[in-house]
A = this chain, B = another copy of it.
């Protein structure tokens, strides 16, 4: 292993995403042995020293910090991985870039387009490698969808529809804010389902189908007040519980997006479907190993939606794992993103989605929220 170069990671934040990223760094070498870079878990940082120490022991981080500025300043760290609540992304990312660190940031990039702008500027000025964890692109079935589209299998696209349905906030007893619940706190998150869930849908959509030009949206907050988990006080709920929008893509196709945390029966059901002149594609996160594909060029009497079980060695990423028929899961999308990042690093290429690309997704999110507020169509200003 002596010929591997170290890729020394400083992780900031240790929540759910801290775990998925840590797992990715630890596993990538086992399954992508040809990479020249080998991640080293140099430090993890969070304010609660006891907890972050426990996390470091569990995952094997070499050291612990309680002030993220120290991590950014350390010479023995090459890359900063940002897993904090959204309101901390900008400050950390800018500082990291200015310190010459590579930056891998959990999505969404920021709470607003304005907040994202200096992040992009700092990254570009520093010229450091960067990426944003829109991990769903790298689920093999989703990557396969991209391959089929890029190969022209679908022909002209007419429709793109996606939704992301959850049901975990239906109870009015659920508090908002604080650890594990910051996604319900508008100050920390920047928005509700729009930044949390639709941002994923939008990233995938523009990756697969190009830029979104204009949007018409509506949002709803079903539960108007919730107790704050730290203060115990009832407060107005600031986030959007649900968001729906339709839009035009640059290629002339129509888009339809919906997200909610009030869809009983769906834990994390991200679905998308694309209808083209010759073929269509469907996918959903609950059955993530399958890509549904309909090809009108199949002989007429035999046509049907094909349920492609994406577990074969000639399908994206799957030569790295087991044997045909044996599934991988959610966490592997992060392993793939780290593998691709390290591969790009080796080749001196940007790893998509970069900060710049993620800011385009931010523009759509912002146009969506503004459209809902003003009850009117909004141009996104996206250039994809």
Contact = CB atoms under 8 A, between A and B. Distances in A.
A33 to B, nearest CB: 4
Interface in A330-376: 330-332, 375-376
Interface in A245-269: 245-246, 248, 252, 254, 256, 258, 260, 262-269
Contact of A158 (B262, B278, B312): B262
Contacts of A304: 290-293, 306-309
A205 to B, nearest CB: 15
A303 to B, nearest CB: 7
Interface in A291-342: 291-296, 298, 300-309, 311-312, 314-315, 321-332
Interface in A2-16: 16
B288 A327 contact: yes
A91 interface: no
A375 B216 contact: yes
A212 to B, nearest CB: 13
Interface stretch (A24-32, A66-74, A104-112, A229-237): A24-32
Given A262-B275, A301-B312, A314-B300, A323 B218 contact: no
Interface stretch (A92-100, A115-123, A126-134, A279-287): A279-287
Interface residues of A, number: 98
B301 A315 contact: yes
A328 to B, nearest CB: 4
Given A216-B375, A293-B302, A29 B58 contact: yes
A59 to B, nearest CB: 6
Contacts of A163: 161
Nearest to A4: B57
A268 B306 contact: no
A275 B267 contact: no
A57 B1 contact: yes
Contacts of A312: 267, 300-301
A227 interface: no
B265 A324 contact: no
Contacts of A293: 302, 304
Contacts of A266: 275, 280, 325
A338 to B, nearest CB: 15
Interface string A134-172: 000000000010011000010000110101011110100
A49 interface: no
A76 interface: no
A27 to B, nearest CB: 7
Contacts of A90: none
Contacts of A269: 325
A356 B340 CA distance: 46
A327 B277 CA distance: 25
A268 B308 contact: no
Contacts of A327: 286, 288, 327, 329-330
B264 A294 contact: yes
Given A268-B325, A302-B293, A329-B329, A260 B23 contact: no
A305 B302 contact: no
- The 4 A-B pairs with the shortest beta carbon distances in the complex, nearest first, are A268-B325, A267-B325, A265-B294, A304-B306
10 contacts: A19-B322, A218-B254, A220-B254, A242-B254, A256-B256, A267-B312, A268-B325, A286-B327, A292-B304, A298-B306
